[in-house]
Structure 1
């Protein structure tokens, strides 16, 4: 069971994330978060003493959530062949359905703290290492990873961002690639 402090911290992070998603990083202020979350600024500062600490916390929270979905999906997959690649696809699909929250966290962190970006990068590399033991052609695993990265970057930079129907079709094709191996 979560403590009151954990619940309040979660509310603050969710509110900050929504402000960024709705209005961009430039609109994120401590006052805006406190107002939207219906908490006092002092209450917010108790959990995050400044905007920088809040953005760091947000980035780590979002990536940790992504990693949780990655490992959870792999754990539920009974087919060992390609399960880590499918877990990456499923975690990515879930994140993209939630407005590409991983991008929000990484982008926010990279503006303020290269150390956080480095930590997220190292964690992502650890996830990707699981694909090396996936019992599928390593090139197939790389193609899956790069396709997912491409979808993220097109959404992040809003450059020729594909329609959801196209993304769904690509995701389905990537899943099929994991089942054709072995």
Structure 2
């Protein structure tokens, strides 16, 4: 059973995530996070003593949630061969459609903070290991992961983002590559 402190911490992180998605990443402050969570700023500071600590917590929370969804998608896939790659594709597709603002902020913040960057790197390595051991050619699996990374960077940083129709065709082609 989770402690009260862990439950409160999760609530704060979920609230901060919701705030970013409703507003803007740059609008997130300790005050706004506390208000969104319905707690005092002192209560927030107990769990996250500064904005940097909150950002590290957010990055870990976001990647934990992504990893849970990744594992759940793979677990539900009845076809063993390529299931981890398909899980990565499907979770990434949903994530890009729903969490773009959040992802931009976390990626940007990670470039300035080695702790955030390290946390992201560990999550990516976990997923890379899963797709490499996915009963398909590990090079093909890695190409799929790198293509997903490219979709993220293209859309998140507005570097020649694909229109919806072409993005869907790319995603379908990636899924085909898993079979």
Cα deviation, residue 3, structure 1 = 5.7
* Alignment correspondent of 1:92: 92
| 1:44-83 matched pairs, under 5 angstroms | 44-83=44-83
Please tell me the root mean square deviation across aligned C-alpha atoms, in Å.
2.4
* Alignment correspondent of 2:157: 157
Q: TM-score, normalised by structure 1?
A: 0.82
In the alignment, structure 1 residue 107 sits paired with structure 2 residue 108? yes
The secondary structure found in structure 1 opposite 2:107 is: helix
| 1:117-156 matched pairs, under 5 angstroms | 117-156=117-156
Cα deviation, residue 82, structure 1 = 1.1
**Could you tell me whether the CA contact under 8 Å between 2:81 and 2:136 is conserved in 1?**
yes
**Could you tell me whether the CA contact under 8 Å between 2:82 and 2:136 is conserved in 1?**
yes
Q: TM-score, normalised by structure 2?
A: 0.84
2 CA distance for matches of 1:87 and 1:67?
10
1 CA distance for matches of 2:166 and 2:25?
28
In the alignment, structure 1 residue 170 sits paired with structure 2 residue 170? yes
Cα deviation, residue 105, structure 1 = 3.0
2 CA distance for matches of 1:4 and 1:168?
42
1 CA distance for matches of 2:14 and 2:94?
16
* Alignment correspondent of 1:15: 15
Moved more, 85-94 or 33-42: 33-42
Moved more, 40-49 or 159-168: 159-168
Query: How many residue pairs end up in the alignment?
Result: 178
**Could you tell me whether the CA contact under 8 Å between 1:92 and 1:148 is conserved in 2?**
yes
Runs of 4 or more consecutive aligned structure 1 residues displaced over 6 Å after TM superposition? none
The secondary structure found in structure 1 opposite 2:161 is: coil
Structure 2: unaligned runs, 5 residues or longer: none
Cα deviation, residue 127, structure 1 = 1.4
**Could you tell me whether the CA contact under 8 Å between 1:84 and 1:131 is conserved in 2?**
yes
1 CA distance for matches of 2:4 and 2:97?
28
1 CA distance for matches of 2:104 and 2:77?
26
